[in-house]
Amino acid sequence: MLAFTYVLAVLIIALGVPLTVNLQRRATSELTTQALLQAQGIAAQIGSDTIDGPTRLDRIVTQAAEQVGGRVIVVDAEGFLVADSDGSVAPETLYATPGRPEIQRALQREAFSQIRDSIDLGHDIMATAVPIQDEGRLLGAVRITRSVQQVNDNIRNVTIGLGAIGVAALAAGMLLAFWLAGSLSRPLTRLAAVAKRLGYGDLSARAGDVSGAREVEELGRSFDEMADRLERSVQAQREFVANASHQLRTPLTAMKLRLEGAIAEAPEEAVRKRLEAADLEVDRLSGIVDRLLVMAREIEEGTSANVDLGEAVDRAVLRWNGRAEERDSTVIARGDGGSARVDPTDLDQILDNLLDNATSHAPGEVTIESGGANGRVFVAVLDRGPGIAPEDLARVTERFYRGRGAPSGGSGLGLAIARQLVEKWGGTLNVDSALGEGTRVEVRLDAAP
């Protein structure tokens, strides 16, 4: 609309200003021509006998003044006044002065007309003077003066009229531009709304029949095709996660039973401890399978709950005490806790991934901190390990990324999964580390009301 308005305004100004100037010039030219013709007509009535006869000359001047609607004066060849239609100036007054250049030019046998300011009248006048000649002899000059206020008023009225027409044209153009902009933007606005619904998880959102330009209609069809493919892909993902999780339950249950039987029959304490550790890992794997089933049901529309951070941290300490000892680590908790808006299963998995990383890469004391401030709560896992190299720090949350000093056996998915789960609930995961000073991984979440 702004571009259209700018172009239209420039066009109106480019046409209107020259038109107004031309009208003004034409009106002035016509007035000048008319005044010259009238002055020449008066001069033609005056001869050598007339200019010397005051009575007849006064009658000619008076009648001429009534016809032209202005003041008519006659001067002799020396520039002295001999007749005045107003009678306001005494005869024999010198009128061929520098302030009246039209008379001086007429006495030089040249017809002359100009618009100038009149000091006596206080407004612009048109002064026109022509020579009076008889058989080639200069007898004097005739001057006509009349106000050009009416002409100026007419020109001003025309200018105002043209301006009003220009404003009306500009307003009509803006209305047309608004209608055109609306007709172009409505289908795009509709597409944007549908895309927003799709982004929020409504996989059934479709643009349908989008009317508009051919390119916009093609965009609508392409969008619907993309949404169809996305819905099929997500559905296949859900089905895969659900089916894989369900199929894993049976072998895990069988493994659990066999391990429990082996533990009961283990002849040595060392063997029993190893079997019990394996049994714990099976329990952990079963928990992951259960979470996969939950994810399959709530992958798009997961619902949050108010989770007590202190209780979640205590559960994590209980889960990890045994495994931490096997890795020569200890897990302790401190902090004020708090309440977060997050799924409890997701929070447990986040803590498990962070503790798994900490106890694997940095044996020793591992601390879980919790607290809150400014409407948000946090939980952080700290270790006193070797730290992370600066060149690796920016990439540690990427999938399958493993730093050059990382021990073998890991997959490089722990922090990536934790970050994805945190962002799912609108939180952030930050990793602070320096070589030789340990690592702190902090998770910030929205506080529960």
What domains appear along the chain, each with residue ranges and CATH number? 2-153 (3.30.450.20), 303-446 (3.30.565.10)
Using CA atoms, how far apart are residues 174 and 196, in angstroms rounded to an integer? Answer: 31
What pLDDT band is residue 131 in, cutting at 50, 70 and 90? very high
* 89-93, 254-258, 281-285, 311-315: range with highest mean pLDDT: 311-315
Query: What does the mean pLDDT of the chain come to?
Result: 82
Instruction: Tell me the percentage of the chain whose pLDDT exceeds 70.
Output: 89
pLDDT surpasses 60 at 103:
yes
* CA count, 13 A, side-chain hemisphere, 417: 20
Going edge to edge, which strands form the sheet with 439-446?
330-335, 365-373, 376-383, 439-446, 428-433
pLDDT surpasses 80 at 89:
no
Nearest alpha-carbon partner for 397 in 370, 428, 425, 436: 428
User: What per-residue confidence (pLDDT) applies to 357?
Assistant: 84
User: What per-residue confidence (pLDDT) applies to 411?
Assistant: 54
pLDDT surpasses 80 at 78:
yes
User: What per-residue confidence (pLDDT) applies to 246?
Assistant: 66
* Model pTM score: 0.40
* 14-23, 236-245, 393-402: range with highest mean pLDDT: 14-23
Residue that is written with structure tokens 């602070």 in the block = 432
pLDDT surpasses 50 at 8:
yes
User: What per-residue confidence (pLDDT) applies to 409?
Assistant: 47
> Is the Cβ–Cβ distance between 7 and 146 less than 8 Å?
no
Using CA atoms, how far apart are residues 403 and 416, in angstroms rounded to an integer? Answer: 14
> Is the Cβ–Cβ distance between 19 and 11 less than 8 Å?
no
Which segment of 13-22, 220-229, 293-302, 411-420 scores lowest on mean pLDDT?
Answer: 293-302
pLDDT per residue over 248-260, tens digit each?
777 878 888 888 8
Cβ neighbours of residue 153 under 8 Å, at least 6 residues apart?
A: none
* DSSP code, position 85: S
pLDDT surpasses 90 at 369:
yes
- Label residue 137 exposed, middle or buried (CB < 10 Å: 0-12, 13-18, 19+): exposed
pLDDT surpasses 60 at 85:
yes
CB atoms inside a 10 Å sphere around CB 200: 10
Instruction: Tell me the percentage of the chain whose pLDDT exceeds 90.
Output: 10
Q: Tell me which of 266 and 407 has the higher pLDDT.
A: 266
pLDDT surpasses 60 at 367:
yes
* DSSP code, position 358: H
Strand, coil or helix: 345: helix
Give me the helix-helix angle, 344-361 and 269-298, nearest 10°.
140
